[in-house]
Amino acid sequence: MHRVTVAVDPPYDVVVGPGAAAELRAVVGPFRRVVVVSQARVLDEHRAALGDAFGREPWIVTIGDGEAAKSLSTVEALCGELARGGLLRGDLVVAFGGGVVGDTAGFAAAVYHRGVAVAQVPTTVLGQVDAAIGGKTAVNLAEGKNLVGAFHQPIAVIADTTILATLPDAEFRSGLGEVAKYAVMPEGDGVVELLRLHTDRVLARDPVVLADLVAACAAIKANVVAEDPEERIGAERGADGAGRASLNYGHTFAHALETTGAYSFAHGEAVAVGLIFAVNLARALERVGLDAVDRVHGVVAGLGLPVSVPGDADRAELLVTMRRDKKATGGLTFVLPGPSGLELVDDPPDRALDAAFAAVGA
């Protein structure tokens, strides 16, 4: 079992490993009232494990599936359920599911009674390596992804890697997009080495190797979050590096691709293409050489992830959506690699954008 501490105030642990769900009993024990927020399809697979972790039948509230469920209307309905069930400010919300559940339940916990405690129990690769860690919660608007949200750190993250065996192939592969992101970050050598040695066991969902991989990604995120808990460094132009915004490497293009495609493209796959876009944009700006492009392409392709957009993609629509990105300061803003690591770059020239769009077939 791995324990990765996220050194914010107060600190909390990300517990990773086969059978880690058993740790949930100690987390929920001190609370008077606990509600589990999940989805019907997740409960169909894991209700027994959830009951074992609680030692009793828990109070469960379900939300819908897919990015359409990450909405203000879902948050309103969920908070209504919490109020009718008597959840008070000193009680606990447990988010038991993938990124949609973690983001939506986390945001509801952030705003209900102006903030109640939340524990994250991610059941997807995406959730375990990234989304459940760091307290970023949000829901979508028609105009873009994750535009309404709050920072609300969990009291614990429990990542049971045996749960990943039940994921549909497409969902498992999608989560590897965030793994690819960590592998190609400057701090990602440990992730690259695990993939070099054990890609076949990762793809076979070996829970022990997955625990090593999830813990390695979680450690990178924990260090970045501790340095910049609320993404303030990235908001200050002229600061050294991108701070927590570095975790959005590949995400400006990815979020636009998801939004313009009505979420027909899975998040992790969009991130994979976004990484290809970003490194080619950096290459066109002479921030990195061809070796960096080849490295990112090799990691993404090696995990069986897409390296280009599916079908037709409307460049003009993508640009409009990217200008609404949370990092933007009135134009286009990207997290790009360079000689000093990952940095925020504003308004690259059209010739560089042309090269990046061409690289991903848009």
Identify the active-site residue in 46, 70, 152, 231.
Answer: 231
Sign of CA dihedral 188, 194, 199, 202: negative
User: Is residue 286 annotated as part of the catalytic site, yes or no?
Assistant: no
Our measurement of the distance from residue 101's CA atom to the centroid of its chain's CA atoms, rounded to an integer in Å, reads 12
**Closest-CA residue to 42 (of 104, 94, 98):** 98
Identify the active-site residue in 181, 248, 280, 327.
Answer: 248
What's the helix, strand, coil split of the chain in %, to 5?
A: 50, 15, 30
Helices 207-227 + 169-184 axis angle, to 10? 50
User: Is residue 198 annotated as part of the catalytic site, yes or no?
Assistant: no
Identify the active-site residue in 2, 46, 70, 136.
Answer: 136
Question: Cα(97)–Cα(295) distance, rounded to whole angstroms?
Answer: 32
User: Is residue 221 annotated as part of the catalytic site, yes or no?
Assistant: yes
Q: Where are the beta strands (DSSP E) in 63-116?
A: 92-97
Pairing of strands 12-17, 2-6: antiparallel
Helix (H, G, I), strand (E, B) or coil at 114: helix
Identify the active-site residue in 114, 237, 286, 351.
Answer: 114
Identify the active-site residue in 145, 267, 283, 327.
Answer: 267
Residues written for the chain: 362
User: Is residue 178 annotated as part of the catalytic site, yes or no?
Assistant: yes
Joined together, the tokens standing for residue 336 give: 């790009």
Helix (H, G, I), strand (E, B) or coil at 145: strand
Question: Cα(95)–Cα(78) distance, rounded to whole angstroms?
Answer: 12
User: Is residue 248 annotated as part of the catalytic site, yes or no?
Assistant: yes
Identify the active-site residue in 221, 283, 326, 327.
Answer: 221
User: Is residue 2 annotated as part of the catalytic site, yes or no?
Assistant: no
Q: Do 275 and 250 touch, CB atoms closer than 8 A?
A: yes
Pairing of strands 117-122, 34-38: unpaired
Identify the active-site residue in 46, 181, 255, 327.
Answer: 255
Question: Cα(77)–Cα(56) distance, rounded to whole angstroms?
Answer: 25
User: Is residue 327 annotated as part of the catalytic site, yes or no?
Assistant: no
Identify the active-site residue in 244, 283, 326, 327.
Answer: 244
Q: Do 283 and 271 touch, CB atoms closer than 8 A?
A: no
Identify the active-site residue in 152, 251, 287, 327.
Answer: 251
Q: Which residues are catalytic?
A: 114, 136, 178, 221, 231, 244, 248, 251, 255, 267
